[in-house]
Chains A and B, each alone.
Chain A
Amino acid sequence: MKKTEKTQHSIPSNIRYIMKLMFSISPGMVLMDIGLHILNRLPSKLVSVIGIRYIIDEVQGGGDTAKIIGAVALIAGIMLAASVLNALGYELYIRKEQENLYRGIHAKLYEKAVSLDLAAYDNSSFYSDFILAVETSSENIQFILGQVRNYVTEILSFIIISSVLLSIDWVCLVIVLVFVLAFIPVGRKTGTLQMQRREAATEKHRRSDYFARIFYLPEYAGETRMNGITPLLMKRFSQSADEITKTQKKYVKKLDILFFLQDASVQVVGFMLVLTGYIGYRTIVSKTMSAGDFVATFNGAVQIGSAVMYLTVYAIRNFTERSKMIEKYRTFLACPVTMKDGAHEAECGEPETIELKNVSFTYPGNETPSLKNVSMTLRPGEKIALVGYNGAGKTTLTNLLLRLYDVSNGEIRIGGRDIRNETIASHRNRFAAVFQDFKIFGATVGENVALSPDYDEKRVMDALRHAGFRKELPNGTETVLLREFSDDGMMLSGGEEQKIAIARAFYKKCPYVILDEPSANLDPVSEYELNRSMAEAAKEKTVIFISHRLSTTRHADRIFMMENGEIVESGTHEELMAQNGKYAYMFRLQAEKYTEK
């Protein structure tokens, strides 16, 4: 806690935050959960102390039958009520509300996730840190609720039992507290050690889990079978597993010694020897304590011991540990979005001029810029191609056009307006984009093509046809793709997936189309057909095309050759060939085999 950074919230603040959050989602559940827990746990704790004492003393003191029957009936009544209410409340209400809680917590996270700047993903700690926190958030939040209700119950049991003990003999309470409190530091120490052990293990497991993954993932199976790397991987795994064992040994040794010390001192010496000796003395020698008191004190000591231990050590440890996760959850939700909406709603109508003025861009965390001082103007309806080496900045340029990132310097204008003046959603809505690393979603074909829950069936089928998709769809546009949800989902080959992705560009009604390596997975026939139908369908649109296959870019109105983040050549194919520069060199290399004759 002392190590907390300035920006972090205190543990109580985090707990308050989470309790408020849960309360706002489902107040009934929070209250019922805590209430039922107390009702369920507290009576049995009290019975072992107060109930027994009462009955023993009552019996030894002559025994009023009616009183004893009354006491038994009361205990029975409370227990019965607690048991029934607990069963009904949990199964009929709480369990169902937990789903709502999950919904509330996650919906918040999802909203945030999709509104984040893409740049947030470039930060590598974002993955390891936030994703984990997010994945475990509902678990953590429910855990906090569990701890809070335990906390309340233990406080109540501590107060009640202490006052019983106090009424019997204050010395007993002092003995109990002295031993328990004296060992709080040891308890804390074990808590810290356990936490350190977990952290160390997580780090080590990352390594060993990686090797487990290699053996597990299908994409490595061919490679490992052909190249004989298995023994090396096995060896590396063994090494990391041995490291794990070593770490475990180191921590467990310390931990077990501390556990022993604590148990031996508090429970054995404190409770069994000193406390019991004292009350034995009072019962046998000074005869100032009844048998009922003896039993009640003994049982009470055990209860108080565990309550204090929980309140001062375990609860703190649990809260501290989870608080870190809650902190991440809060930080994630508070993560600033640097990309700001403009005030204007961009129109999704006819293409307008797109203008890049001295655009430079450096990815967050990188030193060298990915784009340097790029200027270009795309006329409405123009078809342009971006070509060049891997890593020349082609994809980066499209990322900026889509405002997935904001330019570091310079500006991008569409129809004369800086794209930062538009709302992000309306700006992006003007584009249809097929990315190089496109993804197929576990959803219906219709949803996959329209990328929206609502779609026009006929237009989806048209778009698929244009994209050259010919596989039969058993349920038409309702056919589910991938096996994520249903085992009869349809699996597609790489080429077919690519065609679905391309169909998205055909489907969307918008003035601008970006195609990043759309034909990488296509055979020559499909590629050829794609070029045709794209030319046809996108007649009116401005199209930005990225391809390594210069045959597909050749007919573009203008070709921009990029190198190291700069545009080094531009013009029509014929102009660039005449210029005899880098593009011409590249084209001839690729064309060589086709044109040799």
Chain B
Amino acid sequence: MKQKTKGEQTGTFRDIAFAVKTLIQASPRFIFGGIVTMTAYWFFTAYVQEVLFLKKLLEIITEGGTFRDFMGLLLMFCVAALLAKGTDCLGDYFSSVGGKVVYKKLNEKIFRKAAEVDIECYENPEFYDVYKRATEILTDDIYHGVQFAVAEMVSGTFSGIFLIGYVATVDPKLLLILLSVAAVVAVQGRKNRLLYQRDREMTPNKRQKSYVQRVVFLRDYAKDMRTSDIYRVMQKRFHDAIDANRAVIGKYGPKLALFEVFAGVAAEVVPVVVTYSYAAYRFIVKRNLKVADFSVLMTAINNIKDVVRDVSGSFADLQERALYFRNLKQFLAYESHVVSGEREAGTLETLEFRNVTFTYPGAEKPSLQNVSLSITAGETVAVVGKNGAGKSTFVKLLLRFYDPDEGEILWNGVNLKEYDLASVRKQIGTVFQDYKVFALTVNENVLCRECENEQDRKDSEQAMRASGAYTKVSTLPNGADTVLTREFDDKGAGLSGGEQQKIAAARMFARPFALAVLDEPSSALDPIAEYKMYESLLKATENKTVVYISHRLSSAVLSDKIFVFDAGTVTESGTHDELTAKGGLYASMFAMQASAYRETGEEETS
């Protein structure tokens, strides 16, 4: 147990060191500016102004100094004060600007990593949580918090030394008061643990509350909220969460109150009362305390107390916030499983899955089991099957979002893993079911880079004509230079799902590709748009290799090969005619879908 806490301790220090190092690397101005500001402020206020200044002036007054001495000292202090204030402001300027530089640099670091990690990271809740917490550093609260805590610790220690030094010159015994303060710091750890426990117990309720809030306010849920009683479910959840929180707070309340009473008495009441009693004793009984010392002693003790409290509080804050940096460290240290190989991939000639088995991390059952199939360049291949049969997994492995657990995928006869990842992906054009457009101009959305010259514009236009997006785009106020989405441009174009899908599809045509992977590209489209997209995809991919995934079996009819997936394996393969003749799953699925389309076809009775 002891061992473990020790390990945790060093872990914490390492986190703190990492946090500070990361911030200094991002912008030295940020941390150092913060320290300078805070030190200038604290040292000046807590020591120079409230203690030294008053003490010196009072000494002149009570020991019969002249007014000239008094004013001389006063002026000296004023100059010192101006310097301190100036330093304070300058430091603030640097740290405020530095803060934004940190925001930029850290984000860039995170983005670069995010762009490179495996897709798995996004699907693995644990890792995703690490990512999430790492990004939370960029909320002001965390990284400014670290800066603030570091600055406060440095400046607190610095002014603390001077204050303690002063009190010691009056009477070292007085420092015993610090024991009382130290006792509070000592139990602070236990109280923090208690608080942490309490907060953790409330976390599920907090999640519940924020979920209810989201459901109640987001447009996505608005229709269901209005046409059903689901609001009552949410309402109940909400009240349950609040009641649960109250119970947790009630449970911890007495213990925390005890800590607070102790802390209040030991850190606030005892120092004041003891100092007063002590001073009164020396004043009255011994008659050997200077007025100057008496007047500032109180302030000095008070400031020491504040400094100790703040420094220990800062340390606790720092520990807590450094945890987020631990997540950043983990995130940055993540090593992708999908590692790029060395070889430059040649133009696709053959693609083969050989006994490929794959289980998603954390899943029990494999999603693909012993899948073998081969595709030759120039073929159009349809992949069909029921929901959850493994079609999308097949695509993910093909794109190397994941690597197979067993078996291999061969590109021109060589294991896919041996190739440079970029050289493979460059050859693959994709249109996904969950198309995405970005808050960029249409041209940028299509080209996936800035549109630099006339040639780029032409390429983009051609690609959009191929996908059918151009008809709509040409009607936009700024044509292909219109910014999409209203994310941050109120004049941005909000397109319908179908139009967005066409723009996403145009990306594929904007660059050369050897293999097209189309994952349900037409699910958002109306029949005519679907037909047109299908036609244009077909035309544009002539002589190209195409892997087409769709529930619409009509798209399978003309393909050179059909692979039927069922429960993670390929159960049938062949041409439409072959499979229909075979009378298996494909034949029955096709018959079902086709029955309703046949003009004369009556549905078979069941």
Contacts and interface: CB of A to CB of B under 8 A. Distances in A.
Contact of B507 (A103, A227, A257, A390): A227
A114 B225 contact: yes
A577 interface: yes
Interface stretch (A21-29, A240-248, A344-352): A240-248
B448 A439 contact: no
A589 B527 contact: yes
Nearest to B280: A68
Given A226-B399, A548-B527, A244 B216 contact: no
B178 interface: no
B388 interface: yes
Nearest to A104: B242
A276 B528 contact: no
Contacts of A411: none
A87 B207 contact: no
Contacts of B558: 593
Contact of B593 (A272, A276, A277, A594): A594
Contacts of B115: 215, 224-225, 230
A231 B449 contact: yes
Contacts of A298: 54
A241 B111 contact: no
A87 B551 contact: no
Given A232-B440, A485-B207, A210 B488 contact: yes
Interface string B537-575: 000000000000001011101100000000000000000
A160 B523 CA distance: 74
A218 B127 CA distance: 12
Nearest to A232: B449
A241 B58 CA distance: 53
B273 A284 contact: no
Interface in B459-501: 486-488, 490, 496-498
Contact of B122 (A212, A218, A283, A435): A218
Interface stretch (B60-68, B315-323, B412-420): B60-68
B100 A245 contact: yes
B273 A59 contact: no
Contacts of A210: 439, 487-488
B147 to A, nearest CB: 15
Contact of A272 (B77, B97, B273, B530): B77
A16 interface: no
A552 interface: yes
Interface stretch (A147-155, A457-465, A516-524): A516-524
B61 A548 contact: no
A225 B121 CA distance: 13
A574 B386 CA distance: 31
Given A56-B294, A95-B253, A214 B283 contact: no
Given A259-B92, A284-B66, A226 B233 contact: no
B231 A594 contact: no
A139 interface: no
B295 A56 contact: yes
B107 A68 contact: no
A124 B491 CA distance: 12
A228 B448 contact: yes
Given A47-B272, A72-B280, A391-B496, A593 B526 contact: no
Contacts of B229: 450-453
Contacts of B291: 56, 59-60, 291
Nearest to B432: A222
B207 A226 contact: no
Interface stretch (B10-18, B255-263, B370-378): B255-263
A515 B435 CA distance: 24
Task: Say what secondary structure dominates the interface of chain A.
Answer: helix
A13 to B, nearest CB: 26
B261 A443 contact: no
A590 B439 contact: no
Which of A79, A114, A281 gathers most chain B CB within 10 Å? A114
B553 A234 contact: no
A495 B392 CA distance: 13
B138 interface: yes
A221 B75 CA distance: 64
A97 B444 CA distance: 53
Interface in B225-266: 225-239, 242, 245-246, 249-250, 253-254, 256-257, 260-261, 263-265
A86 B264 contact: yes
Interface string B323-359: 0000000000000000000000000000000000000
B182 interface: no
B104 interface: yes
Contacts of A118: 222-223, 226
B122 A221 contact: yes
B217 interface: yes
Interface stretch (B151-159, B162-170, B596-604): B596-604
B70 A280 contact: yes
Nearest to B592: A528
Contacts of B553: 524, 593-594
Interface in B196-215: 204, 207-209, 211-213, 215
Size category of the binding interface on chain A: 35 or more
A219 B123 CA distance: 10
A32 interface: no
A110 interface: yes
A218 B123 contact: yes
A264 interface: yes
Nearest to B49: A272
A367 interface: no
Contacts of A219: 434, 436
B110 interface: yes
A388 B526 contact: yes
Contact of A114 (B231, B257, B496, B595): B231
Nearest to B256: A91
Interface string B279-299: 110011000000100110011
B74 interface: yes
A87 B268 CA distance: 12
Contacts of B295: 52, 56, 291, 295
B82 interface: yes
A550 B78 CA distance: 87
A455 to B, nearest CB: 10
A387 B527 CA distance: 9
A248 B232 contact: no
Contacts of A294: 57-58, 61
Interface stretch (B1-9, B83-91, B403-411): B83-91
B174 interface: no
B504 to A, nearest CB: 8
A346 B175 CA distance: 80
A118 B528 CA distance: 30
A268 B70 CA distance: 16
A20 B496 CA distance: 46
Nearest to A523: B386
Given A231-B449, A291-B58, A83 B104 contact: no
A452 B227 CA distance: 11
B449 to A, nearest CB: 5
Given A114-B225, A551-B596, A226 B430 contact: yes
Interface in A48-95: 48, 51-52, 55-56, 59-60, 63, 65, 68-69, 72, 75-76, 79-80, 83-84, 86-88, 90-92, 95
Given A229-B438, A452-B232, A595-B597, A521 B387 contact: yes
B185 interface: no
A435 B93 contact: no
20 contacts: A68-B284, A72-B280, A79-B268, A95-B249, A103-B239, A215-B114, A259-B92, A272-B81, A280-B57, A389-B528, A404-B226, A443-B234, A484-B211, A485-B237, A522-B551, A523-B389, A523-B551, A525-B589, A551-B596, A551-B597
Given A114-B226, A437-B220, 9 more contacts: A80-B265, A223-B435, A225-B115, A229-B449, A280-B71, A284-B61, A484-B211, A590-B527, A591-B598
Which 6 A-B pairs give the minimum distances between C-beta atoms? A495-B387, A87-B260, A83-B264, A593-B554, A551-B596, A451-B228
